[in-house]
Amino acid sequence: MAQEFGGRWQIASGKPLARSTQSEILRVVDMRGEYEGEYALKRILRPLRQERFKREIAAVTALRHPNVIGIINYSAFKDASGDPEKQFLIMPIADGGDLGRSGRAERYKESVDFVFQIGRQIVSALMTAHDEGVIHRDLKPTNVLFMGLGQEIWLSDFGISLIREPDPQDGGRVFLAPELEGGTQLDVPPAVDVYSLGKVLYFLFSGGVILQGESLDDAKYSAILQQGKRRIALNALLRQMICPLESRIKTMPEVMKALDTLRAPD
């Protein structure tokens, strides 16, 4: 593997921050000195649909929101050769890891407060993205990044599902809206992110349980949502998110309004 990317980014450590069959994340430093310290380089190993993604990534870099991870450099995507050494993104390092990291969600198990706090940040980021015509399409726990040891998050990987095959290692297919199955539909409504967010919120509240399909009627998934007004309200919200498109909440402002009903009483 090359030690430099784009003639600028040098690997700072030989051990990847993360790796899957589709991508890997490395610690890098800027040899030009424009950016100090270490950054995360995400290398795409099996790039697809590059022209479409270039338009999408340009839109994402224009987003300005505290809960959308900044993309510092993406010029390599201007190369359409398909060379994986030239397909990368440069982003800040999320020192707190991601929600999918082993044991992370367990910290928030059965806490409506954390669902409210973290959920509002995700929804706020998606509202801004949707207003700019950018649909995430691939929301899952590994794309919810914690900036540090606190509860502040970044949302990452907008649109990246357009340029790589689904990764069976990360369980991402389970979080996809049914209308995205097969990966052939490129133009999709904001409601696909509503469905995936519902499953992420359940994952968060349950302490890391992956909800299979639309199974909230199954007692093994719904038991934790039956006691107390706020849990029952969360159950009602999730049922309006993790459901067929015709019955689903369609927009993030509607989700935000429903989330606000979960706010702890003064």
Is residue 248 flagged as an active site residue?
no
Q: Specify the pairing of strand 18-19 against strand 23-30.
A: antiparallel
Contact 214, 242 (CB under 8 A): yes
Which member of 43, 104, 137, 248 is catalytic? Answer: 137
Please answer whether residues 23 and 38 qualify as being in contact, where contact means their C-beta atoms are separated by less than 8 angstroms: no
DSSP for the chain, please give it.
Answer: --SEETTTEEES-SS-SEE-SSEEEEEEEETTSSS-SEEEEEEESS---HHHHHHHHHHHHT---TTB----B-GGGG--S--GGG-EEEE---TT-BTTSTTTGGGGTT-HHHHHHHHHHHHHHHHHHHHTT-------GGGEEESSSSS-EEE--TTGGGSS---TTTTHHHHS-GGGTTS---S--THHHHHHHHHHHHHHHHTSPPPPSS-TTSHHHHGGGSSSHHHHHHHHHHHHHSS-GGGS---HHHHHHHHGGGSPP-
| Interatomic CA distance for residues 96 and 220, integer angstroms | 30
Nearest to 145 by CA among 105, 96, 111: 96
Q: Would you name the residues annotated as active-site residues?
A: 137
